[in-house]
Amino acid sequence: MKDEPIDSVGVLLSVLILVAVLHRQIGHLLADPRLQTWLTVFVSVMVQAVPFLVFGVVLSAVIAVFVPRSFWARALPRHPALAVPVAGVAGVVLPGCECGSVPIAGSLIRRGVTPAAALTFLLAAPAINPIVLTATAVAFPKNPEMVAARGGASLAVAVLMGWLWLRLGHAEWIRLPHRPHLDGLPRMEAFWSACRHDVFHAGGFLVLGAMAAATINVAVPQSFLHHLAGQPALSVLALATLAVLLSICSEADAFVAASLSQFSLTARLAFLVVGPMVDLKLISMQTGIFGRRFAARFAPATFALAVLVAAALGTVIW
Protein backbone atom coordinates (compact mmCIF):
# COMPACT_ATOMS: atom_id res chain seq x y z
CA MET A 1 0.00 0.00 0.00
CA LYS A 2 2.92 2.33 -0.60
CA ASP A 3 1.19 4.73 -2.95
CA GLU A 4 -1.98 4.86 -0.86
CA PRO A 5 -1.84 7.95 1.35
CA ILE A 6 -4.26 6.46 3.85
CA ASP A 7 -5.21 2.85 4.22
CA SER A 8 -8.65 2.87 2.59
CA VAL A 9 -9.81 -0.37 4.14
CA GLY A 10 -8.88 0.97 7.55
CA VAL A 11 -10.97 4.09 6.93
CA LEU A 12 -13.88 1.98 5.71
CA LEU A 13 -13.78 -0.22 8.79
CA SER A 14 -13.66 2.81 11.10
CA VAL A 15 -16.69 4.28 9.32
CA LEU A 16 -18.53 0.98 9.67
CA ILE A 17 -17.80 0.77 13.38
CA LEU A 18 -18.87 4.38 13.85
CA VAL A 19 -22.14 3.76 11.98
CA ALA A 20 -22.78 0.60 14.00
CA VAL A 21 -22.24 2.42 17.30
CA LEU A 22 -24.26 5.49 16.33
CA HIS A 23 -26.95 3.81 14.29
CA ARG A 24 -29.69 4.76 16.76
CA GLN A 25 -28.79 8.43 16.52
CA ILE A 26 -28.56 8.17 12.74
CA GLY A 27 -32.01 6.59 12.74
CA HIS A 28 -33.41 9.61 14.64
CA LEU A 29 -31.84 11.98 12.14
CA LEU A 30 -33.62 10.15 9.33
CA ALA A 31 -37.05 10.16 10.96
CA ASP A 32 -38.53 12.79 8.62
CA PRO A 33 -41.18 11.01 6.48
CA ARG A 34 -39.98 12.50 3.22
CA LEU A 35 -36.39 11.53 3.91
CA GLN A 36 -37.61 8.04 4.76
CA THR A 37 -39.42 7.84 1.43
CA TRP A 38 -36.25 9.00 -0.33
CA LEU A 39 -34.24 6.29 1.40
CA THR A 40 -36.83 3.62 0.58
CA VAL A 41 -36.89 4.58 -3.10
CA PHE A 42 -33.09 4.79 -3.29
CA VAL A 43 -32.55 1.40 -1.62
CA SER A 44 -35.29 -0.19 -3.69
CA VAL A 45 -33.90 1.05 -7.02
CA MET A 46 -30.57 -0.48 -5.98
CA VAL A 47 -32.11 -3.77 -4.81
CA GLN A 48 -34.13 -4.03 -7.99
CA ALA A 49 -31.09 -3.31 -10.15
CA VAL A 50 -28.62 -5.63 -8.43
CA PRO A 51 -29.64 -8.91 -10.11
CA PHE A 52 -29.60 -7.22 -13.51
CA LEU A 53 -26.31 -5.50 -12.83
CA VAL A 54 -24.68 -8.74 -11.69
CA PHE A 55 -26.16 -10.64 -14.62
CA GLY A 56 -24.85 -8.03 -17.06
CA VAL A 57 -21.45 -7.93 -15.41
CA VAL A 58 -21.09 -11.73 -15.49
CA LEU A 59 -22.18 -11.89 -19.12
CA SER A 60 -19.75 -9.12 -20.05
CA ALA A 61 -16.96 -10.98 -18.24
CA VAL A 62 -17.86 -14.15 -20.15
CA ILE A 63 -17.66 -12.16 -23.39
CA ALA A 64 -14.31 -10.73 -22.30
CA VAL A 65 -12.74 -14.01 -21.21
CA PHE A 66 -14.41 -17.02 -22.78
CA VAL A 67 -15.73 -15.85 -26.17
CA PRO A 68 -12.87 -15.61 -28.69
CA ARG A 69 -12.56 -12.44 -30.74
CA SER A 70 -13.01 -14.43 -33.93
CA PHE A 71 -16.56 -15.37 -32.87
CA TRP A 72 -17.87 -11.84 -33.37
CA ALA A 73 -16.27 -11.58 -36.77
CA ARG A 74 -18.20 -14.69 -37.80
CA ALA A 75 -21.47 -13.94 -36.00
CA LEU A 76 -22.00 -10.39 -37.29
CA PRO A 77 -22.13 -9.29 -40.94
CA ARG A 78 -18.79 -7.83 -41.99
CA HIS A 79 -20.31 -4.57 -43.19
CA PRO A 80 -21.06 -2.32 -40.18
CA ALA A 81 -24.27 -0.96 -41.73
CA LEU A 82 -25.61 -4.53 -41.84
CA ALA A 83 -24.24 -5.44 -38.42
CA VAL A 84 -26.40 -2.72 -36.84
CA PRO A 85 -29.85 -4.25 -37.55
CA VAL A 86 -28.53 -7.71 -36.64
CA ALA A 87 -27.43 -6.31 -33.28
CA GLY A 88 -30.84 -4.72 -32.84
CA VAL A 89 -32.61 -8.03 -33.35
CA ALA A 90 -30.11 -9.76 -31.04
CA GLY A 91 -31.20 -7.27 -28.38
CA VAL A 92 -34.77 -8.52 -28.73
CA VAL A 93 -33.80 -12.05 -27.77
CA LEU A 94 -31.82 -11.18 -24.67
CA PRO A 95 -34.09 -10.33 -21.76
CA GLY A 96 -32.38 -7.78 -19.62
CA CYS A 97 -32.67 -4.52 -17.84
CA GLU A 98 -30.81 -1.41 -18.85
CA CYS A 99 -28.37 -1.74 -15.94
CA GLY A 100 -27.00 -4.97 -17.39
CA SER A 101 -26.71 -3.94 -21.01
CA VAL A 102 -24.25 -1.07 -20.41
CA PRO A 103 -21.34 -3.27 -19.25
CA ILE A 104 -22.22 -5.85 -21.93
CA ALA A 105 -21.99 -3.23 -24.69
CA GLY A 106 -18.67 -2.03 -23.26
CA SER A 107 -17.34 -5.56 -23.32
CA LEU A 108 -18.49 -6.08 -26.91
CA ILE A 109 -16.57 -3.00 -28.06
CA ARG A 110 -13.45 -4.22 -26.27
CA ARG A 111 -13.74 -7.50 -28.12
CA GLY A 112 -13.69 -5.80 -31.47
CA VAL A 113 -17.42 -5.51 -32.25
CA THR A 114 -18.04 -2.35 -34.25
CA PRO A 115 -19.24 0.37 -31.81
CA ALA A 116 -22.32 1.12 -33.93
CA ALA A 117 -23.57 -2.46 -33.53
CA ALA A 118 -22.72 -2.56 -29.81
CA LEU A 119 -24.59 0.72 -29.23
CA THR A 120 -27.64 -0.54 -31.13
CA PHE A 121 -27.58 -3.60 -28.90
CA LEU A 122 -27.26 -1.33 -25.85
CA LEU A 123 -30.45 0.52 -26.82
CA ALA A 124 -32.45 -2.45 -28.09
CA ALA A 125 -31.83 -5.06 -25.37
CA PRO A 126 -33.68 -3.37 -22.49
CA ALA A 127 -36.39 -1.82 -24.67
CA ILE A 128 -37.68 -4.73 -26.70
CA ASN A 129 -37.46 -8.13 -25.15
CA PRO A 130 -40.18 -10.67 -24.37
CA ILE A 131 -40.50 -9.68 -20.71
CA VAL A 132 -40.89 -5.98 -21.43
CA LEU A 133 -43.37 -6.52 -24.27
CA THR A 134 -45.45 -8.94 -22.16
CA ALA A 135 -45.53 -6.39 -19.33
CA THR A 136 -46.69 -3.76 -21.81
CA ALA A 137 -49.49 -6.01 -23.05
CA VAL A 138 -50.62 -6.65 -19.46
CA ALA A 139 -50.53 -2.96 -18.59
CA PHE A 140 -52.50 -1.85 -21.68
CA PRO A 141 -55.23 -4.50 -22.02
CA LYS A 142 -57.45 -2.14 -24.03
CA ASN A 143 -54.73 -0.91 -26.38
CA PRO A 144 -52.90 -3.98 -27.71
CA GLU A 145 -51.45 -1.80 -30.49
CA MET A 146 -49.27 -0.22 -27.79
CA VAL A 147 -47.11 -3.38 -27.75
CA ALA A 148 -46.41 -3.21 -31.49
CA ALA A 149 -45.93 0.56 -31.36
CA ARG A 150 -43.44 0.27 -28.50
CA GLY A 151 -41.51 -2.59 -30.11
CA GLY A 152 -41.44 -0.96 -33.55
CA ALA A 153 -40.51 2.53 -32.36
CA SER A 154 -37.78 1.22 -30.03
CA LEU A 155 -36.20 -1.01 -32.67
CA ALA A 156 -36.30 1.87 -35.16
CA VAL A 157 -34.60 4.24 -32.72
CA ALA A 158 -31.93 1.66 -31.82
CA VAL A 159 -31.08 0.89 -35.45
CA LEU A 160 -31.21 4.56 -36.52
CA MET A 161 -28.86 5.49 -33.67
CA GLY A 162 -26.45 2.78 -34.84
CA TRP A 163 -26.46 4.14 -38.40
CA LEU A 164 -26.19 7.69 -37.10
CA TRP A 165 -23.10 6.62 -35.17
CA LEU A 166 -21.60 5.19 -38.38
CA ARG A 167 -22.05 8.54 -40.13
CA LEU A 168 -21.29 11.02 -37.36
CA GLY A 169 -19.70 9.13 -34.50
CA HIS A 170 -16.03 9.35 -33.63
CA ALA A 171 -14.26 6.41 -32.08
CA GLU A 172 -12.24 8.73 -29.82
CA TRP A 173 -15.43 9.87 -28.04
CA ILE A 174 -15.57 6.44 -26.46
CA ARG A 175 -13.03 6.08 -23.70
CA LEU A 176 -13.35 2.71 -22.07
CA PRO A 177 -11.84 2.75 -18.58
CA HIS A 178 -8.46 1.15 -18.13
CA ARG A 179 -8.86 -2.50 -17.38
CA PRO A 180 -6.04 -4.81 -16.28
CA HIS A 181 -4.74 -7.00 -19.05
CA LEU A 182 -6.62 -10.22 -18.86
CA ASP A 183 -4.73 -12.08 -21.55
CA GLY A 184 -1.85 -13.34 -19.43
CA LEU A 185 -4.00 -14.43 -16.49
CA PRO A 186 -5.45 -17.89 -15.86
CA ARG A 187 -9.02 -17.91 -17.17
CA MET A 188 -10.90 -17.99 -13.88
CA GLU A 189 -8.75 -15.27 -12.42
CA ALA A 190 -9.32 -13.14 -15.51
CA PHE A 191 -13.06 -13.78 -15.21
CA TRP A 192 -13.30 -12.61 -11.59
CA SER A 193 -11.04 -9.66 -12.28
CA ALA A 194 -13.26 -8.54 -15.17
CA CYS A 195 -16.39 -8.96 -13.00
CA ARG A 196 -14.90 -6.89 -10.21
CA HIS A 197 -13.83 -4.17 -12.59
CA ASP A 198 -17.31 -3.82 -14.07
CA VAL A 199 -19.14 -4.02 -10.75
CA PHE A 200 -17.28 -0.93 -9.59
CA HIS A 201 -17.36 1.02 -12.83
CA ALA A 202 -21.05 0.40 -13.48
CA GLY A 203 -22.17 0.01 -9.85
CA GLY A 204 -20.74 3.28 -8.57
CA PHE A 205 -22.52 5.21 -11.30
CA LEU A 206 -25.68 3.22 -10.70
CA VAL A 207 -25.69 4.46 -7.08
CA LEU A 208 -25.40 8.04 -8.34
CA GLY A 209 -28.28 7.49 -10.77
CA ALA A 210 -30.44 5.84 -8.11
CA MET A 211 -29.92 8.82 -5.80
CA ALA A 212 -30.97 11.21 -8.55
CA ALA A 213 -34.04 9.12 -9.37
CA ALA A 214 -35.07 8.96 -5.70
CA THR A 215 -34.71 12.74 -5.42
CA ILE A 216 -36.95 13.30 -8.44
CA ASN A 217 -39.45 10.78 -7.11
CA VAL A 218 -39.76 12.69 -3.85
CA ALA A 219 -39.32 16.24 -5.10
CA VAL A 220 -41.45 16.59 -8.26
CA PRO A 221 -45.08 17.25 -7.33
CA GLN A 222 -47.42 15.04 -9.32
CA SER A 223 -50.11 17.70 -9.61
CA PHE A 224 -47.65 19.69 -11.75
CA LEU A 225 -47.72 16.92 -14.34
CA HIS A 226 -51.47 16.90 -14.30
CA HIS A 227 -51.56 20.45 -15.64
CA LEU A 228 -49.33 19.52 -18.57
CA ALA A 229 -51.51 16.64 -19.71
CA GLY A 230 -53.92 18.88 -21.58
CA GLN A 231 -51.40 20.27 -24.08
CA PRO A 232 -50.61 17.72 -26.83
CA ALA A 233 -47.07 18.71 -27.85
CA LEU A 234 -46.00 19.68 -24.37
CA SER A 235 -47.38 16.48 -22.89
CA VAL A 236 -45.19 14.32 -25.16
CA LEU A 237 -42.10 16.25 -24.08
CA ALA A 238 -43.20 16.21 -20.46
CA LEU A 239 -43.60 12.43 -20.29
CA ALA A 240 -40.36 11.86 -22.24
CA THR A 241 -38.54 14.04 -19.71
CA LEU A 242 -40.28 12.29 -16.85
CA ALA A 243 -39.04 8.95 -18.21
CA VAL A 244 -35.48 10.29 -18.10
CA LEU A 245 -35.86 11.61 -14.57
CA LEU A 246 -37.72 8.72 -12.97
CA SER A 247 -35.30 6.03 -14.24
CA ILE A 248 -37.78 3.20 -13.78
CA CYS A 249 -36.75 -0.30 -14.77
CA SER A 250 -37.93 -1.11 -18.31
CA GLU A 251 -39.87 -4.09 -17.02
CA ALA A 252 -42.01 -1.86 -14.82
CA ASP A 253 -42.41 1.32 -16.80
CA ALA A 254 -45.46 0.10 -18.72
CA PHE A 255 -47.46 -0.06 -15.48
CA VAL A 256 -46.47 3.48 -14.59
CA ALA A 257 -47.34 4.63 -18.10
CA ALA A 258 -50.74 2.96 -17.79
CA SER A 259 -51.40 4.85 -14.56
CA LEU A 260 -50.66 8.18 -16.28
CA SER A 261 -53.97 7.90 -18.05
CA GLN A 262 -54.67 11.62 -18.14
CA PHE A 263 -51.98 11.76 -20.84
CA SER A 264 -52.51 10.87 -24.51
CA LEU A 265 -51.40 7.47 -25.79
CA THR A 266 -48.74 9.19 -27.92
CA ALA A 267 -47.25 10.86 -24.85
CA ARG A 268 -47.23 7.54 -23.03
CA LEU A 269 -45.59 5.85 -26.02
CA ALA A 270 -42.82 8.47 -25.83
CA PHE A 271 -42.45 7.63 -22.12
CA LEU A 272 -42.04 3.93 -22.97
CA VAL A 273 -39.60 4.48 -25.85
CA VAL A 274 -37.38 7.00 -24.07
CA GLY A 275 -37.26 5.35 -20.62
CA PRO A 276 -35.23 2.22 -21.39
CA MET A 277 -32.81 4.17 -23.63
CA VAL A 278 -32.12 7.40 -21.77
CA ASP A 279 -32.51 7.91 -18.05
CA LEU A 280 -30.49 9.33 -15.19
CA LYS A 281 -28.97 6.06 -14.07
CA LEU A 282 -28.19 5.04 -17.66
CA ILE A 283 -26.51 8.37 -18.45
CA SER A 284 -24.54 7.99 -15.25
CA MET A 285 -23.50 4.41 -16.08
CA GLN A 286 -22.66 5.31 -19.69
CA THR A 287 -20.37 8.03 -18.36
CA GLY A 288 -18.68 5.42 -16.22
CA ILE A 289 -18.23 2.79 -18.93
CA PHE A 290 -17.80 4.86 -22.12
CA GLY A 291 -16.56 8.20 -20.81
CA ARG A 292 -18.00 11.67 -20.43
CA ARG A 293 -17.51 12.86 -24.01
CA PHE A 294 -19.51 9.93 -25.29
CA ALA A 295 -22.40 10.23 -22.83
CA ALA A 296 -22.71 13.99 -23.40
CA ARG A 297 -23.43 13.38 -27.10
CA PHE A 298 -25.09 9.99 -27.17
CA ALA A 299 -27.78 10.57 -24.54
CA PRO A 300 -29.24 13.83 -25.96
CA ALA A 301 -29.16 12.46 -29.52
CA THR A 302 -30.98 9.29 -28.43
CA PHE A 303 -33.52 11.35 -26.51
CA ALA A 304 -34.29 13.60 -29.49
CA LEU A 305 -34.59 10.69 -31.90
CA ALA A 306 -36.75 8.66 -29.53
CA VAL A 307 -39.17 11.57 -28.99
CA LEU A 308 -39.40 12.19 -32.74
CA VAL A 309 -40.02 8.56 -33.65
CA ALA A 310 -42.57 8.08 -30.86
CA ALA A 311 -44.43 11.29 -31.72
CA ALA A 312 -44.49 10.45 -35.44
CA LEU A 313 -45.66 6.88 -34.89
CA GLY A 314 -48.22 7.97 -32.29
CA THR A 315 -49.68 10.56 -34.65
CA VAL A 316 -50.03 7.94 -37.39
CA ILE A 317 -51.71 5.33 -35.14
CA TRP A 318 -53.91 7.40 -32.86
Partner 1 sequence: MNRQAQAVVMLLFGGAILRASWTDVYLRYVKHGLRPFLIAAGLLLVAAAVMALRDELRDRPADPSERDDDGHRHGHSGPKLGWLLVLPALGLLMIAPPALGADTVARTGSMLNGTKEIAYSPLPPGDPAKLTLLEFGYRAVYDSGRTLRDRQIQLTGFIATGPDGQPMLARIILACCAADGVPIKIGLRGDVPRLPPDTWVQVQGRWVAHTAKDPVNESDIPYLEVDTWQRIRPPAEQYE
Residues in 116-175 that interact with partner 1 by CB under 8 A: 135, 139, 142
Kindly state the number of chain residues that form the binding site for partner 1, as judged by CB under 8 A: 82
Nearer to partner 1, 70 or 223 (CB): 223
Q: What radius of gyration do the chain's Cα atoms show?
A: 21
| Closest distance to partner 1 from the beta carbon of 164 (Å) | 27
The reply to whether 312 sits near partner 1 by the rule CB under 8 A is no
Q: Is 49 exposed, middle or buried (0-12, 13-18, 19+ CB in 10 A)?
A: buried
The reply to whether 18 sits near partner 1 by the rule CB under 8 A is no
The reply to whether 210 sits near partner 1 by the rule CB under 8 A is yes
Residues 241-280 vs partner 1: string with x where CB under 8 A?
-----xxxx-xxxxxx--x-xx------------------
| Closest distance to partner 1 from the beta carbon of 96 (Å) | 12
Phi and psi at residue 233, to the nearest 5°: -70, -40
| Closest distance to partner 1 from the beta carbon of 91 (Å) | 20
Among positions 17, 50, 75, 234, the unique one binding partner 1 when judged by CB under 8 A:
50
Which region among 43-51, 83-91, 112-120, 157-165 touches partner 1 (by CB under 8 A)? 43-51
Which region among 65-73, 151-159, 188-196, 302-310 touches partner 1 (by CB under 8 A)? 188-196
The reply to whether 227 sits near partner 1 by the rule CB under 8 A is no
Q: Comparing C-alpha atoms, which of 280, 316, 257, 298 is closest to residue 116?
A: 298
- Report the C-alpha gap between 234 and 197 in whole angstroms: 42
117 close to 87: Cβ distance less than 8 angstroms: yes
235 close to 267: Cβ distance less than 8 angstroms: yes
Q: 171 to each of 51, 150, 294, how far by Cα in Å? A: 31, 30, 9
Which region among 109-117, 191-199, 265-273, 296-304 touches partner 1 (by CB under 8 A)? 191-199
- Report the C-alpha gap between 40 and 56 in whole angstroms: 24
Which region among 75-83, 110-118, 152-160, 178-186 touches partner 1 (by CB under 8 A)? 178-186
Dihedral of CA atoms 146, 147, 148, 150 in degrees, nearest 10, equals 80
**Length of the chain in terms of residues written:** 318
Q: Comparing C-alpha atoms, which of 223, 254, 257 is closest to residue 239?
A: 257
Among positions 14, 17, 51, 318, the unique one binding partner 1 when judged by CB under 8 A:
51
Residues in 63-122 that interact with partner 1 by CB under 8 A: none
Q: 35 to each of 31, 38, 39, 206, 212, how far by Cα in Å? A: 7, 5, 6, 20, 14
Which region among 14-22, 68-76, 147-155, 163-171 touches partner 1 (by CB under 8 A)? 14-22
Among positions 116, 128, 159, 214, the unique one binding partner 1 when judged by CB under 8 A:
214
Nearer to partner 1, 39 or 93 (CB): 39
Q: Give exposure, 159-191, as e/b (b: 16+ Cβ within 10 Å).
A: bbbbbbbbeebeeebbeeeeeeebeeeeeeebb
| Closest distance to partner 1 from the beta carbon of 161 (Å) | 24
The reply to whether 192 sits near partner 1 by the rule CB under 8 A is yes
